[in-house]
Structure formats: C-alpha cells, structure tokens
Amino acid sequence: MNKFVVFDFDGTLADTFELGSKLLNLYAQEFGYNKIDFEKHKNSSAKELIKLSGVRFWKIPHLLRFFRKKSQEKADEIKPFSGIIDLIKQLKSENYKLGIITTNSSQTIDTFIKTNGLEEYFSFIKTEVSLFGKKRALKKASRLSGDFLYIGDELRDIEACNAAKKKIISVSWGFNSFEILKKNNPFVAKNTQELYDLITIFSKQ
C-alpha cells in the first residue's frame, strides 16, 4: 500500500493562474517576447506556449528566476483552490505522507503553508525545479523518500511522470483543460472529492 502523495503547487494546490499570466504579459515588451492569451491556450503544452511567445530557450532560466521573485512579492495573496485545504487535512488524518515538488520558490511555498496553517502537514518539499526538470526531481525524490503518487495540472507533469515512471493523477482546475489532460492521462479529477477518491484507489494498489 502506497500512502505517499506529492503535489505540484501552481494550478494544483494554489490558484496562481491570474497572477502568473498577468506577470508574464506585463513584462513581455521589456524582455522581448510576445504576449499570450492564456485562456485561449489551455490545450497547449509548455513547449508550444514558449514557441508562441518567441522566447529563446537559453533565456528561460533567467526569466524563471525573475518571475519567482515577482511572485514572492504577491505570495500572501495566493489562495488555495476550493476544497484543497480540507483534502490535505483529510489525507494527513488518514496517515498519508505528503510532499510538494514545484518550480516555484521556497519563499512563496513557505508563505502559502504558513498562511493556511499547514506547517505540520508536508514532510517533503522540493522547490525551484527548472521548467523542464521535473523528471529529474521526481526520480531524485523517489530515491530519497521512496515511491509516491504525483498530483499535477499540466501536460508537462504527465510527460515528466511518464518519463520518470511515476503514477500521476491530473486535476482539471489548473492550467490545462480537462479534455487535453484526459487525452493524455486516464486519471483526471474535476474536483477535490474526485481527487480524494482516485488517491484512495491508487493507495490500495
């Protein structure tokens, strides 16, 4: 029985879509890339969005560091998705081990955890993963902490889990649409009750 669940942060635990899309478009002219209507591209992968924006791949690490700092400034405004806090508390009460693997900064995650009274809930947290570095982070986490189930909201999460041979449940309330997630992963939750039910099924395998 596997009772270790690791969450993505942006778009899975926390509703950062509006903040992130606004920041990215706000600085488009300054950094020389194209603005994107993210609502119209919920079926697009991260690589497809980068191509649309015209950002050179070698600039991505610098931009990621810049936007991490900007999101830190608004960290106290970041809200959890409906039902997420109750889900975390329910899983913890049932003796699940919980973790986070995210591209976001440690400061932003720390603020979110403290704001929502979750200081004692996560035993594993890995922050500031590179944009396409989740495969490596997932494998490393498995070596350190044992096998686990991952929860994410993007095609990028599915791709990383497939490459790292990790089971994944996708959630449809984040960046990518239910339709495109379902096309690439049979296990997609539309709400936290469905997510809890799927986690319970996986934990018994």
Q: Residue 178 maps to which CATH number?
A: 3.40.50.1000
- Name residue, tokens 């329910």: 90
Whole-Å CA distances, 58 to 25, 43, 69, 133, 177:
19, 24, 19, 14, 28
Do 66 and 84 belong to one domain? no
Among residues 30, 61, 76, the one where a domain terminates is 76
pLDDT in tens, 20-62: 999 999 999 999 999 999 999 999 999 999 999 999 889 988 9
Q: Do residues 64 and 130 touch, judged by C-beta distance below 8 A?
A: yes
Do 181 and 144 belong to one domain? yes
**In the prediction, which pLDDT does 159 show?**
97
Task: Give 131's pLDDT tier (boundaries 50, 70, 90).
Answer: confident
Alpha-carbon 75 to chain mean position: 15
> Lowest-confidence range among 63-72, 165-174, 187-196?
63-72
pLDDT in tens, 64-88: 999 999 999 999 999 999 999 999 9
